[in-house]
Structures are given as C-alpha cells and as structure tokens.
C-alpha cells in the first residue's frame, strides 16, 4: 500500500503537468506511455508462445498520430496500408515461428487498440475546452478506481468477474459509481467558475460524463486482466512499484479518451 501511494504521489503531478501544458509535452507523454504499454503487451504474449513484432507494433501505434502532424487527410490510410503490407511480409519471412498467423494478428491488434484509443487523449486535449474535460475525466477515473479499491478491500464480497479479476467486487464498483458521479457533478460546476462562461462543461454534462465512464471504463481494465489471466501473469509489468506495469495503469484511461471525445462531440 505504501509503495502504491508513493508511486501515485510521483506520477500524478507529472501527468497533470503534462495535461496542463498540453501540445507536445502531453503528446510526448502519451506516446511514451503507449510505447511502454506495447512493450509490456508483447512480453505478456511471449509467455504464451506468441511473438508479435515490437517494431511493427510500435509502428501500428505511431500511425494513428500521423493525422496530428497535418500530413493530409490520406496519411492514415496510406500508413495503415503500408503497415498491413509490412506485417504480412515480415511474418511470411518468419513463418518458422510457432504461431506466425496469430503473432501477425496480435501485432496488428495491439497497434490498433493502443494507438487508436490513445490518440483520442491527444485529440481531446486539443479541443478549445479540452483541458477541463480531460481533467474532469481523469479525476472521475482516478478517484473512482481509488474508491473501488478501498471499498472493495474493506467490504467487497460479491465478485464481478472472478475468473478475470478476482479483486474486483460489486461493492467496490458501487463505490466507484458514487464517487465518480460526485466528482463529475462537482467539477462540472467548478471549472466554469474557474475558466469563464464560454466553457462547454456544466454540472449535468459532468454527471453524464461520469455515468458514461464508470459504466464502460471497467471493461478496459477487464480486457487487460483477460490477457494477463490467459498467459498466467499477475501484472503487465513491474515498472511502477505497487501498481504493476504501464498497461495496468492506462487500461481504463485508454477508454477515457475516446468516450469523453464522443460525449463532447455530441453535447458541446
């Protein structure tokens, strides 16, 4: 528990500073986190005998950021086409591996999942009110997960998905829902007072965002848990003391970016 708190005390200020600065500092932080998550993803799958290509996996992540470089509307399509051709050639040349077809598919799937979801964090920050929406979304997820951990550890007895994540309970999830909704409503009221009337965030929109995030982001966590259980691993890595790996920490945040983006596109 002590290591968990120390790691959070170090990482949260770093992340918040990058979020506030926005632009290239935040984009750099996201890309580095995704690259580390991709490395952990590959190492997890190697424990099951699969061998995704790490350079091609990283390329699959990076391709989703091409549109942010203003390279033209067709940059993503060209990049995806090049990636598809490149991965096919790579694994045909390495067909002697134990599971070449599965490794090819897992390389593409990893780049798609991490890159496509991850780029929406940067897109969200680039909106006019993106800073406030992103701060609200992160607070909902972080405080909600902390409440779920605390409530579940103390009172959790009814498991949500024991085969995937034995530590998750319905009691903990109830704590996440309540705390998330309170945070969403509170920040939806607070930020307009701080940032002025032009802000698109309101209390009811903050509450709506919280409802969306607490309902769906747990699936990001459970998805990574599914991978870990299949390969027999407890954590995705050991980079963050008390928390496991980078993938363990961003599994819910990946869903946060795209879900918040979709909501903002609808209500704002």
The DSSP H or E segment spanning 167 is strand 165-169
Could you give the 3-state DSSP secondary structure of residue 256?
A: helix
How far is the C-alpha of 209 from the C-alpha of 203, rounded, in Å?
10
Q: How far apart are the first and last CA of the chain?
A: 40
**pLDDT at residue 2, rounded to an integer:** 66
What lies within 8 Å, CB to CB, of 10 at 6+ separation is: none
Overall average pLDDT of the 227-255 stretch: 86
Task: Name the token pair of 259.
Answer: 């879900």
**pLDDT at residue 17, rounded to an integer:** 92
Q: Give the residue carrying structure tokens 């780029």.
A: 119
Number of domain units in the chain: 1
pLDDT class of 124 with cuts at 50, 70, 90? very high
Q: Is the pLDDT of residue 259 over 80?
A: yes
**pLDDT at residue 33, rounded to an integer:** 95
pLDDT class of 112 with cuts at 50, 70, 90? very high
How far is the C-alpha of 72 from the C-alpha of 181, rounded, in Å?
40
- Expressed as residue numbers, the domain containing 193 is 2-267
**pLDDT at residue 106, rounded to an integer:** 96
Name the more confident of 57 and 150. 57
Lowest mean pLDDT among 44-58, 60-74, 140-154: 60-74
pLDDT class of 10 with cuts at 50, 70, 90? confident
How far is the C-alpha of 251 from the C-alpha of 249, rounded, in Å?
6
* 9 to 151, 243, 264: CA distances (angstroms): 21, 12, 30
- Please state, rounded to an integer, the average pLDDT across all residues of the chain: 89
Question: Does residue 70 contact residue 20 with C-beta atoms inside 8 Å?
Answer: no
**pLDDT at residue 195, rounded to an integer:** 83
Lowest mean pLDDT among 5-9, 55-59, 208-212, 252-256: 5-9
Percentage of residues in the chain having pLDDT higher than 70: 94
């Amino acid at each position: 528990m002590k290591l968990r708190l120390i790691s959070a005390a170090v990482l949260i200020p770093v992340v918040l500073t990058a979020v506030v600065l926005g632009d290239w500092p935040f984009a750099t932080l996201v890309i580095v986190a995704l690259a580390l998550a991709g490395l952990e993803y590959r190492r997890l799958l190697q424990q099951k005998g699969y061998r995704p290509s790490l350079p091609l996996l990283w390329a699959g992540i990076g391709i989703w950021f091409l549109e942010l470089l203003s390279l033209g509307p067709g940059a993503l399509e060209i990049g995806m086409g090049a990636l598809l051709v490149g991965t096919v050639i790579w694994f045909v040349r390495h067909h002697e591996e134990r599971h070449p077809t599965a490794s090819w598919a897992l390389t593409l799937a990893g780049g798609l999942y991490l890159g496509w979801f991850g780029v929406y964090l940067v897109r969200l920050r680039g909106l006019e009110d993106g800073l406030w929406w992103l701060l609200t979304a992160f607070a909902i997820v972080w405080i909600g997960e902390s409440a779920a951990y605390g409530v579940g550890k103390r009172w959790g007895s009814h498991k949500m998905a024991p085969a995937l994540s034995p530590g998750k309970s319905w009691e903990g999830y109830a704590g996440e829902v309540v705390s998330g909704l309170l945070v969403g409503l509170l920040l939806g009221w607070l930020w307009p007072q701080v940032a002025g009337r032009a802000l698109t965030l309101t209390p009811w929109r903050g509450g709506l965002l919280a409802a969306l995030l607490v309902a769906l982001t747990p699936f990001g966590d459970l998805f990574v848990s599914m991978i870990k259980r299949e390969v027999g691993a407890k954590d995705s890595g050991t980079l963050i003391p008390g928390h496991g790996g980078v993938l363990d920490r961003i599994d819910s945040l990946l869903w946060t970016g795209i879900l918040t983006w979709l909501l903002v596109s609808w209500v704002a």
